[in-house]
Chain A
Amino acid sequence: MKKKLNLRKATPWLSAIGLFVLWELIVRIFNIPPYVLPTPSESIIVGWQFHEAIWMHAYHTLYTTLAGFAIAVVFGVVLGALVGSSRAIYDAANPLLVGFNSVPKVALVPVLVMWFGIGTVPAIITAFLISFFPIVVNVATGLATLEPELRDVLRSLGATRRDILIKVGFPRAMPYFFASLKVAITLAFVGSVISETVASNVGVGYLMLSASSKFNMPLVFAGLLVIAVMGIAMYEIFNVIERRSTKWANRGNPTN
C-alpha cells in the first residue's frame, strides 16, 4: 500500500527523467548539431550560465501571466455567473463568446500593440483574452446544471434567485471553477509568451526570440524548459487548491 503510493508519486519524475535521457541519447546517437536540436544537458548548462538574465525574464513573464490570469478570473466569474444564471444572457452571449474564442489570439497582438505600444500591457491583455473563456464556460455550466427538482424545492420555500445562487449555485459551481483554473493558468502562459515573442523587450518569449536570432539554440531550449517548469508548478498549485477546497466533489472517493 505504502510502496504503491510512493511509486505513484515517483512516476511523473521518472517519466520526465526518462524523456530527458531519451532526448539526450537521440541527439548524441544521430549526432544532431546543437543549432538544430541541443541536448537537454547542454540547455541546462547554458541556462545556468545565463541564469541571472533568465531569472529576470522569467519573473517578468510570471508577473505578466498572473496579472492576465487574475483579470481573467474576475471577468470569467462575473460573466460566467451572468451567463449561467439567465437564459436570455446565455442566448445573447453564447455566439459572441464562441466566435471570440475561435479567433487566434496571436492575431490580436498587433492590434494591441497599436493601442498600447510594445511591452507588458499587450502581454497581460493577451494572457487575459486567451484564458478567460474556460472559466466562463465552466462557471456557467456549474450554475446552469442545477437539478430542476432542487430548484423546485427551493422556490417553493420562497427562495429568491439570489438565494438559489448563493446557497446552491456557487457551491455547486466550485469544482467546475477550480477545474477551469488549472486550464486557464496554462493558457495564460501561452498568451503572455506569444505576446512577448511578437512584441516585447522583456520576458521569456523575448529572451527566446533574441536567442534564436543569435543562433543560440541551447538558450532557446533553456527558455522553453523554464516556461514548462513554471506551467507545471502553477498547474500543480491550482490542482492542490482544487482538491483541498472541493473534497465533496469526489464523493469521498480516495483519489490520492
Chain B
Amino acid sequence: MSKSFVELNDVKLRYSEGDELALETTNMKIDKGEFIAVVGPSGCGKSSLLKLVSGLMPPSEGNVIVDGKEVSGPLKIVGMAFQNPTLLPWRTTLDNVLLPMEIVKPHRNRLRKHRAEYEESARKLLATVGLEGHEDKYPWELSGGMQQRASLCRSLIHEPDLLMLDEPFGALDAFTREELWDILQNLWMIKPFTVILVTHDLREAAYLADTIYVMSKRPGKILVERENTLPRPRDQETTFTQPFTDLVHELRSHIRDVREA
C-alpha cells in the first residue's frame, strides 16, 4: 500500500473555463522526508503545482493527498519561500522570522507567555544561516541575499512537515546561492522534512534533490522522474565528480528535448 506523504493522482489544472490546461494529467508520489526538485521551462506550471500541493488552489480534476488526507483547503503547516523574500518592512528580522509562530497552532497561543524561548530558537536559526547580529535590523537594511536567508528562516521556524521552495535562490549570486544550498542541506539532514523545490538551475536540483522531475512545456506534465543517489552530504567536491556532471548533462538534454518538442 502507498505510504507516500504527498500524492498527486491524475491531477489536471485549468485556470479558467475554456483555457488551455496549465497542468496535464500529473501523478507524483513523494515520501516523507524526501527532497524533490522540479525543473522545466518557464510557464509549464511549476508554481501552480506548489499551489495545488499546498491546497491554495483546488485541482480541476484528480486529487491531491497529503499525509493520508485529501487536500481540500490550505494546509496549515506548510513553510514557503519564494524568489522574492516578501519580508514585512515594519518588522525587524527577528520579528519577521517569528511571524509563523503568531499564526500556526499551537504556537500562537503559547507565544506571548514563552516569548523568550521562541526568540531564542529564532536567533539560533538565524545564526545557522549566517545572520547573527542582524536580528534587530529591518529588512531594508539587509542585502538581497541576507533577506533571502531570513525568508528561508521564516519558512522553517515552525518546523513544517512540508517545505515549498519556488526558486528561492534564483535572484542570488552564485557564491551566496551555493552557500545557501549547503545551509539548506544541513538543516534538512539534521531533521528531515519533505521538500518540493522548484528551480531553473539544474546544478541546484542535482546538488539538493533525491528525486528530480522534469516537466514539459505548457500544458505541463511530468516527462522524466530521475533518482539522484549521489551520497550526502554533498559539497563543492561533489560538483566536480563525474556522476554529478553526468547527471547535470542528462537533465540538460531532457530540457533541450522539452524545449524543442
Of listed B105, B140, B141, residue having the most chain A CB within 10 A: B140
A157 contacts B138, C-beta separation under 8 Å: no
**Contact between A156 and B78, CB atoms less than 8 A apart:** yes
Report whether A152 and B89 are in contact in the complex, using a CB–CB cutoff of 8 Å.
no
| Assembly CA distance A246 to B88 (angstroms) | 13
Determine chain B's interface SS by DSSP, over half rule: loop
**Complex alpha-carbon distance, A37 and B99, angstroms:** 62
Q: Do A155 and B86 touch (CB < 8 A)?
A: no
Specify the chain B residue showing the minimal Cβ separation from A159: B103
Digit string of B77-89 for contact with A (CB within 8 Å is 1, else 0)?
1111110101011
Is B84 within 8 A of A163, CB to CB? Answer: no
Which residues of the other chain, B, contact A156 by a CB distance below 8 angstroms?
54-56, 74-76, 78-80, 164
- Nearest CB to that of B90 among chain A residues? A248
Known: A147-B86, A149-B84, A167-B103. A158 touches B138 (CB 8 A): no
Q: In the complex, what's the smallest C-beta–C-beta distance from B69 to chain A, in angstroms?
A: 15
Chain A residues near B104 (CB-CB < 8 A): 157-158
Task: Tell me whether B103 and A157 are in contact (CB under 8 A).
Answer: yes
B81 CB contacts on chain A under 8 angstroms:
153
Judged by a CB distance under 8 angstroms, whether B102 is at the interface is yes
Given known A-B contacts A158-B104, A159-B103, A251 and B140 have beta carbons under 8 A apart? yes
Contacting pair A153 B80 (CB below 8 A) = yes
Distance, CA A174 to CA B88, complexed state (A): 13
Interface string of A131-156 (1 = CB under 8 A from B): 00000000000000001011011111
Residues of A within 8 A of B (CB): 147, 149-150, 152-159, 163, 167-168, 171-172, 174, 246, 248-249, 251-252
Q: How large is the interface on B (under 10, 10 to 19, 20 to 34, 35 or more residues)?
A: 20 to 34
Most A C-beta atoms less than 10 A away, residue of B79, B99, B141: B99
Chain B residue nearest in CB terms to A250 = B140
Q: Does B45 contact A (CB under 8 A)?
A: no
Within residues 30 to 75 of chain B, which ones have a CB less than 8 A from any CB in chain A?
A: 51, 54-56, 74-75
| Contact of B105 (CB < 8 Å), options: A150, A152, A158, A172 | A158
Answer yes or no: B158 CB below 8 A from chain A CBs.
yes
CA distance A168 to B96 in the complex (A): 11
For this complex, 8 residue pairs linking A to B, each with C-beta atoms less than 8 Å apart, are A152-B54, A154-B103, A155-B56, A155-B74, A156-B78, A157-B77, A158-B77, A248-B140
Asked if B105 and A171 make an inter-chain contact with CB atoms under 8 angstroms apart, the answer reads: no
Instruction: Pick the 8 closest A-B CB pairs, nearest first.
Output: A158-B76, A156-B78, A251-B140, A248-B90, A150-B86, A155-B74, A156-B54, A157-B103
* Least CB separation from A248: chain B residue: B90
Complex: chain B residue closest to A156, CB-CB: B78
Is B220 close to A, CB under 8 A?
A: no
Task: List, in ascending order, chain B residues with CB within 8 A of A153's CB.
Answer: 80-82, 86, 154-155
Closest chain-A Cβ to B157's Cβ sits at a distance in Å of 10
| Contact yes or no, B103 A163, CB < 8 A | yes
Kindly provide the distance from the CB of B105 to the nearest chain A CB, expressed in whole angstroms: 7
**B82-124 to A contact mask, C-beta < 8 Å, 1/0:** 1010101110000000011011110000000000000000000
A residues near B84, Cβ cutoff 8 Å:
147, 149
Q: Is the CB of B141 within 8 A of A252?
A: yes
* Alpha-carbon gap, A154 to B81, bound state (A): 11
Quick check: A157 and B158 within 8 Å, CB to CB?
A: yes
- B71 nearest CB across to chain A (Å): 11
Q: Is the CB of A171 within 8 A of B74?
A: no
